[in-house]
């Protein structure tokens, strides 16, 4: 039975009322294959460089600068995927993060972030500055979020697993930008995942609308005056889309709806001007809804929110004995960096000039060097680099900054997370393999890497950064002419 034949009658009847003469074209779209795409990690390479070097035939996704259709291509098995050079994502799902106007230095909240499609893009657009708090109420779903952000090479990130109310109690109204890609009935994904039809018949829009209103309400309260919030769903239901936004506008008079540009293939909101709808018969993608809101910066709000935010979140660490740089050897919580950790960090040389003067190619996407700007902390054997902000301590973190490794009996072992940050120019001992080198697949499976005599002569004993086409992939440990595999066992290809 085709997806079209399985569509619930009540859903079809509602869509006939919504789309009128477009209904037949809409229903016919469910008989076609869903589209797939990748989004380039602009924190690691430019779109131009990707288009020039990659063997994929890249056809642009119209609504985002770094998205490309890749239907039928084996992109999930390519070494570049494991190096975090792109994220596999449904094309329409790229729209929300592309429309939220992120600026470097912003404090950003992705409230319903798992598995990480939006969060990875938001992290890239911060360009290593500011802070991204990526949250999902489900700790199990948030584990996938942690991995995807780690592969992406995102450093200035905290991952939390809390409900929105707890986040508000901890963070206050302290975020410059918030993205709410709300849980929904999933109508827009019926073609891509037909199992959602059964869930829709059990729950439907009426089950989700109250939850969406509650989530959006807490998000608005966490938004700073002058801040912007983007609300999105992957459903066609007005009850979950325009009605939820209208409810927020009614209950929070400080909010205003920012009209979004209507480009080719976009459909306007229904009864609420300025929103955008994507339908699968109009665009090469699935169904989506987005609305952009702004909180006014009235003086009375500014004072009350600033006072609250200052009391609980994101105060720059002042009056510390250290700036947090590794060379200072001091942190407000843990004291001096252990010598073994210091020696390993000294093997990195990060680009310091973010304007790109030293390397023109990196001008627009170079990530700020975390080893130069973050604070060192240690919890037991675990060694971390934490963004230089004072964070609330009474919520559930799955990740704060970067776990750089662990210290065991005075020996430092670098983490997989740390390997995903640098390129081949940043570490002193590198084995850089080309993407078509058959040894890469064996490495990703956890096998020992055989070395040529020239490679063995060039490497020094100890830790080696394994790269693919100049980008960090994982660690190996060189001894006696071979490279022992240190790729994260949980990430290995089965």
User: Would you say the C-alpha torsion 89, 91, 95, 98 has a positive or negative sign?
Assistant: positive
In whole angstroms, give the CA distance from residue 150 to residue 64. Answer: 23
In the structure encoding, which two tokens stand for residue 301, read together? Answer: 């709000």
DSSP 202-242: HS-HHHHHHHHHHHHHHHHHTEEEEEEEEEEES---TTTTH
Of residues 178, 283, 278, the one with CA closest to residue 227: 178
Alpha helices in 383-489 (DSSP H): 416-419, 439-444, 453-458
Dihedral through CA 477, CA 483, CA 489, CA 494, nearest 10? 170
Judge contact between 383 and 71, C-beta under 8 A.
no
Where are the alpha helices (H) located in 135-223, listed in sequence order? 139-152, 164-171, 196-202, 205-221
- Assess whether the previous peptide bond of 115 is cis (omega < 30° from 0): yes
Q: Which two tokens stand for residue 419?
A: 């390997």
Beta strands (DSSP E) in 262-401 are 267-268, 276-278, 288-295, 375-379, 382-386, 397-400
Phi, psi of 149 (to 5 degrees): -70, -35
Do 371 and 345 touch, CB atoms closer than 8 A?
Answer: yes
Q: What angle, rounded to 10 degrees, do the helices at 205-221 and 164-171 form?
A: 0
Catalytic residues: 234
Contact 342, 326 (CB under 8 A): yes
**Six-digit token pair at 437?**
């080198």
Alpha-carbon distance of 155 to 375, in angstroms, equals: 12
Name the CA radius of gyration of the chain, rounded: 24
Give bridge partners of residue 376 from the DSSP assignment. Answer: 385
Give the β-pairing of 411-414 and 449-450: unpaired
Work out the burial of residue 202: count CB atoms within 10 Å of its CB; fewer than 13 is exposed, 13-18 middle, 19 or more buried.
exposed
Query: Which residue's entry shows tokens 């910066």?
Result: 297
Q: How far is 4 from 422, CA to CA, in rounded Å?
A: 47
CB-CB contact of 108 with 121 (8 Å): no
Buried b (16+ CB within 10 A) or exposed e, 386-401: bbbbebbeebeebbbb
C-beta of residue 52 within 8 angstroms of C-beta of residue 45: no
């Amino acid at each position: 039975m085709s997806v079209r034949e399985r569509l619930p009658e009540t859903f079809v009847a509602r869509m006939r009322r919504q789309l009128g003469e477009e209904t037949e074209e809409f229903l016919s779209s469910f008989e076609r294959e869903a589209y797939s795409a990748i989004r380039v990690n602009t924190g690691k390479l430019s779109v131009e460089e990707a288009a020039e070097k990659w063997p994929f035939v890249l056809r642009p996704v119209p609504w985002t600068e770094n998205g490309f259709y890749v239907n039928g291509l084996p992109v999930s098995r390519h070494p570049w995927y494991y190096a975090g050079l792109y994220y596999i994502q449904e094309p329409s799902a790229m729209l929300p993060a592309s429309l939220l106007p992120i600026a470097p230095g912003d404090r950003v909240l992705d409230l319903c972030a798992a598995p990480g499609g939006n969060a990875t893009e938001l992290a890239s657009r911060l360009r290593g500055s500011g802070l991204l708090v990526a949250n999902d109420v489900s700790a199990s779903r948030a584990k996938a979020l942690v991995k995807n952000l780690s592969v992406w090479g995102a450093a200035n990130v905290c991952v939390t697993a809390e409900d929105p109310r707890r986040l508000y109690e901890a963070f206050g109204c302290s975020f410059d930008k918030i993205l709410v890609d709300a849980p929904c009935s999933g109508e827009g994904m019926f073609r891509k995942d037909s199992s959602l039809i059964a869930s829709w018949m059990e729950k439907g829009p009426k089950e989700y609308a109250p939850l969406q209103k509650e989530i959006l309400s807490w998000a608005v309260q966490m938004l700073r005056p002058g801040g912007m919030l983007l609300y999105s769903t992957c459903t066609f239901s007005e009850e979950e889309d325009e009605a939820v936004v209208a409810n927020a506008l009614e209950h929070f008079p400080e909010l205003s709806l920012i009209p979004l540009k209507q480009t080719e293939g976009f459909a306007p909101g229904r009864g609420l001007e300025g929103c955008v709808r994507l339908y699968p018969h109009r665009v090469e993608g699935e169904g989506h809804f987005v609305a952009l809101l702004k909180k006014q910066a009235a003086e009375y709000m500014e004072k009350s929110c600033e006072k609250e935010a200052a009391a609980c979140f994101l105060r720059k660490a002042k009056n510390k004995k250290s700036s947090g740089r590794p060379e200072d050897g001091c942190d407000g919580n843990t004291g001096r960096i252990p010598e073994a950790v210091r020696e390993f960090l000294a093997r990195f040389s990060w680009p310091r000039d973010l304007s790109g003067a030293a390397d023109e190619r990196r001008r627009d996407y170079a990530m700020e060097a975390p080893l130069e700007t973050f604070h060192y902390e240690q919890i037991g054997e675990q060694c971390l680099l934490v963004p230089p902000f004072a964070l609330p301590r009474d919520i559930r973190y799955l990740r704060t900054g970067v776990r750089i490794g662990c210290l065991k009996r005075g020996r430092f072992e670098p983490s997989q997370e740390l390997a995903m940050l640098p390129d081949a120019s940043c570490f002193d001992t590198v084995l850089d393999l080309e993407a078509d080198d058959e040894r890469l697949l064996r490495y990703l499976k956890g096998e020992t890497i055989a070395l040529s005599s020239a490679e063995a002569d060039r490497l020094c004993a100890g830790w080696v950064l394994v790269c693919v086409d100049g980008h960090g992939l994982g660690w190996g440990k060189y001894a006696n002419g071979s490279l022992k595999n240190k790729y994260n066992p949980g990430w290995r290809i089965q």
